[in-house]
Amino acid sequence: MAPRQRFSTRKDKHVAGPSDVTSSTYPWPRPDGVPFNLPDDTIPENSDSRWDQVDCFYYNKLLNVEMEPTRLMCAETLKRLGIHDQVQSILLHAKLMGLALETSPLYPDLARQCLATVRITYANPETPLVKEATLSFFAGGKKYSIPMEHFCDLYGFHSEDADLTFPKKFGIASRFWQTIADGPYRSNSASQSLIRHPAVRICARIISQMFFNRYAGNKVHMDELMLLYYGCREIVREPFGREFAVEHSISLGTQFAMTICAVKDKVRSGASGKTERIGSLLTTLFEIARVPLNSAKRYDKLNLMDTAHLVNSQILRDADTYRFKNEHGVLQYVFLPDPSITQLNTLEDLRFMHAPLQTTSAPHRDAPALACPSSSRAPPPHLEDMETSERSADAPFTTPAYDSEFDLPPISDEYDIAEYRRWMVASQKKNNSLMQRILQMLARGCSSTTTAAAAPSERLSRRRPRTNSNESQSPEEHTTR
């Protein structure tokens, strides 16, 4: 009988083949909106050339934030209100007109990938220069890099501007703020609603939301106020130009790139909230970098600063009625378009202070608004064409013709001096009598307390004496014993 042959159970050592090589774009492609399970040994912890676990962390954070279209400037609404040229002039002088003209759709998942991985690198970090800076990001697991000068040209910024930061001091901040609004400038209380001129106010909103990605609150920060100042340079050159330069050399392209990079810090700290609206402005970056967009999810609906948005933001009362607060803080209204009051040629135009005939004060909440007899301006055409029922529903401040039946008689300024003196004497006597009664009560209470107080030796003891179980003893009996 032949001997049994024993086979070895040991497996041969596996030799890595072409199919075992990890793709350079791993872990992409993958379904949109699927979070990463960390830690993952197949993904490098930190890498400059590949998608790493740090990128996975920020991508997971951005999955908790809803990507909404960027709120863009609406040129048609501005033209209808008659302030398009003024807004365009301010943004052009501030060197922001290229960004304001963006009207791109939103790619939500590509925007998350870009925001999770975007970085700015300098050839020499100790002495950073715009011409040596590079913006890089990942999309679909592939790294894209764009020189900062090319990025500035892409969004219409001036690539020759070399300053990386805003001026540290803005010495005329309060004086300029008092020109366009009211009161001294304080960053914690300066609000866009205090700006009077409609073109300047809408420019402040465009700068805050589109350039700095600040949608929470309604404050005017120092850097936003500087850009408004630069935008009004032709008007403020004479009164303020000697104290603070009216033109700047700030690299706004680098500042906008920093705004994009700051989203990671916002989502990590939770300051981003539940929505993020900068994603639509990244589409131009994807197109120039030639990121594949055919298979990516896309939102074509635009979010514009149109009439409905301006009404909801309480900038407009209705389609053509602008609301603002005058220099005394009183809410007023003015009909637009009106080139005579919205022009921006002088410092007085920037202050936006006009005669009462051109403005209408806000009515009281509980009282009906009366028609202003001194106003010679006709109401808007759409109000004249509406029926009475529609007018009461759509225009709550419109009322019937003025009726003087229930008017109170005017208050007379004349008074009888003798009657006034008699009233003063009677009031004084009444007050003196009341004070005397109060003093008597206080004095009577103090004297009775003093006389009724007994000497310490004559006071009864408050401690109850010890007694037997079968007998009780009152304090009076104990004292007599």
Identify whether residues 235 and 186 lie together within a single domain.
yes
In the predicted model, what is the mean pLDDT of residues 413-417?
61
Question: Would residue 426 count as lying in a domain?
Answer: no
pLDDT at 199: 97
Identify whether residues 49 and 136 lie together within a single domain.
yes
pLDDT exceeds cutoff 90 at 279: yes
Identify whether residues 58 and 109 lie together within a single domain.
yes
Question: Would residue 469 count as lying in a domain?
Answer: no
Question: Would residue 31 count as lying in a domain?
Answer: no
Identify whether residues 282 and 318 lie together within a single domain.
no
Give residue 257's domain range.
39-68+104-165+250-301
Question: Would residue 154 count as lying in a domain?
Answer: yes
In the predicted model, what is the mean pLDDT of residues 170-188?
92
Tell me which of 260 and 359 has the higher pLDDT: 260
Question: Would residue 263 count as lying in a domain?
Answer: yes
How far apart (Å, rounded) are the C-alpha atoms in residues 443 and 432? 16
370 pLDDT band, cuts 50/70/90, is very low
pLDDT exceeds cutoff 50 at 29: yes
Identify whether residues 157 and 64 lie together within a single domain.
yes
Burial class from Cβ neighbours inside 10 Å (0-12, 13-18, 19+) for residue 226 reads buried
pLDDT at 464: 58
CA-based nearest residue to 77, from 67, 92, 87: 87
Question: Would residue 12 count as lying in a domain?
Answer: no
Question: Would residue 182 count as lying in a domain?
Answer: yes
Least reliable range by pLDDT among 137-151, 327-341, 444-458: 444-458
Identify whether residues 241 and 254 lie together within a single domain.
no
Global pTM value? 0.70
360 pLDDT band, cuts 50/70/90, is low
Question: The dihedral of CA 386, 389, 393, 397: what is its sign?
Answer: positive
Question: Would residue 384 count as lying in a domain?
Answer: no
In the predicted model, what is the mean pLDDT of residues 52-79?
94
In the predicted model, what is the mean pLDDT of residues 307-327?
93
From 268, 301, 334, give the residue that closes a domain. Answer: 301
272 pLDDT band, cuts 50/70/90, is low
Least reliable range by pLDDT among 79-88, 113-122, 298-307, 394-403: 394-403
Query: Please, are residues 98 and 306 in contact by the beta-carbon 8 Å criterion?
Result: no
pLDDT exceeds cutoff 60 at 378: no
Identify whether residues 297 and 203 lie together within a single domain.
no
Residue 166's alpha-carbon distances to 227, 246, 248, in angstroms, are 10, 13, 9
Identify whether residues 280 and 239 lie together within a single domain.
no
6 pLDDT band, cuts 50/70/90, is low
Identify whether residues 345 and 278 lie together within a single domain.
no
Identify whether residues 286 and 176 lie together within a single domain.
no
pLDDT at 410: 64
Q: Which two tokens stand for residue 445?
A: 């209470």
Give the DSSP letter string of 293-304. -SSS--B---EE
Identify whether residues 188 and 84 lie together within a single domain.
yes
User: Is the bond preceding 27 in cis, omega lying within 30 degrees of 0?
Assistant: yes
Number of domains the chain is built from: 2
Identify whether residues 87 and 121 lie together within a single domain.
no
pLDDT at 462: 54
